[in-house]
A and B are shown apart, each in its own frame.
Chain A
Amino acid sequence: LPILKPKDEL
């Protein structure tokens, strides 16, 4: 699974 990023989508 991809690396965790801040959720910039709504």
Chain B
Amino acid sequence: MNIFRLLGDLSHLLAIIILLLKIWRTRSCAGVSGKSQILFALVFTTRYLDLFTNFISMYNSAMKLIYLVCSYATVFLMYFKFKATYDSNHDTFRMEFLVVPVGGLAFLVNHDFTPLEILWTFSIYLEAVAILPQLFMISKTGEAETITSHYLFALGSYRALYIVNWVFRFYTEGFFDLIAIVAGCVQTILYCDFFYLYITKVLKGKQLTLPA
């Protein structure tokens, strides 16, 4: 564990909590992509099956459980409790366009051809693209609520911090996981355009709107 990893995990947790609180406090999930949230729940479910097979630390198990519970809670709030506020007309990205190719790739490119390892690989690839329905939704409506953009910024920061963590681990421990690194870089690149808009608009007190 290094400081970048820890900050990355906390940033990830912050993102998840910002989103849950936003939905809970405003009693509305307008502007949030339910598709992205379902994909994240699927990511955590397929990745954290190792909760049952190997123990790393209390921190590791506790964080996994928190991520899992929070992601299912978000999906529950969006599709059941506050379903009436869910903006499904603008959430039109087709999940199968991500899940099917990612599943195929996980079968072809993995560290070991075993069920748990393939599911882990699937979760890594899927996480890289799971935010696309949300970004697609923002590009369709042309704007995002400020709180939604804070959520995305925290989520993007988590990815960027993980890259720094990998560089650090490579030099200090000689550790690297090529699958995680390539997928993590792809994921971080997807946020670049958003980061630019966040810094030029949201941090100056304006709402996030896309240039016409």
Q: Is the CB of B178 within 8 A of A10?
A: no
Q: Is the CB of B177 within 8 A of A2?
A: yes
Question: Which of B5, B56, B63, B111 meets A4, CB within 8 Å?
Answer: B111
Q: Is the CB of A10 within 8 A of B176?
A: no
List of B residues within 8 angstroms of A6 by Cβ = 50, 54, 56
Q: How far is the CA of A1 from the CA of B112 in the complex (A)?
A: 10
Q: Is the CB of B111 within 8 A of A1?
A: yes
Q: Give the most central of A1, A2, A4, A10: most B CB within 10 Å.
A: A10
Contact of B183 with A by CB under 8 A: no
Q: How far is the CB of B175 from chain A (nearest CB, A)?
A: 8
Q: Is the CB of A2 within 8 A of B56?
A: no
List of A residues within 8 angstroms of B197 by Cβ = none
Interface residues as binary, B1-33 with A (CB distance below 8 Å gives 1, 0 otherwise): 000010001001000000000000000000000
Q: How far is the CB of A8 from chain B (nearest CB, A)?
A: 5
Q: How far is the CA of A7 from the CA of B180 in the complex (A)?
A: 11
Q: How far is the CA of A6 from the CA of B138 in the complex (A)?
A: 37
Q: Is the CB of A10 within 8 A of B67?
A: yes
Q: Is the CB of B60 within 8 A of A2?
A: no
Q: Is the CB of A7 within 8 A of B120?
A: yes
Q: How far is the CA of A1 from the CA of B47 in the complex (A)?
A: 19
50-67 of chain B: CB within 8 A of chain A: 50, 54, 56-57, 60, 63-64, 67
Which 9 pairs between the two chains have the least Cβ-Cβ distance? Answer: A8-B56, A4-B111, A6-B54, A4-B112, A1-B111, A10-B63, A10-B9, A1-B178, A2-B177
Provide 19 A-B residue pairs closer than 8 Å at the C-beta atoms, listed in order of the A residue.
Answer: A1-B111, A2-B111, A2-B176, A2-B177, A2-B178, A4-B111, A6-B50, A6-B54, A6-B56, A7-B56, A7-B120, A8-B56, A8-B60, A9-B5, A9-B162, A10-B9, A10-B60, A10-B64, A10-B67
- Known pairs A4-B112, A7-B47 / 13 extra A-B pairs, C-beta < 8 Å: A1-B179, A2-B111, A2-B178, A4-B111, A4-B117, A5-B175, A5-B177, A7-B56, A7-B120, A8-B56, A9-B165, A10-B60, A10-B67
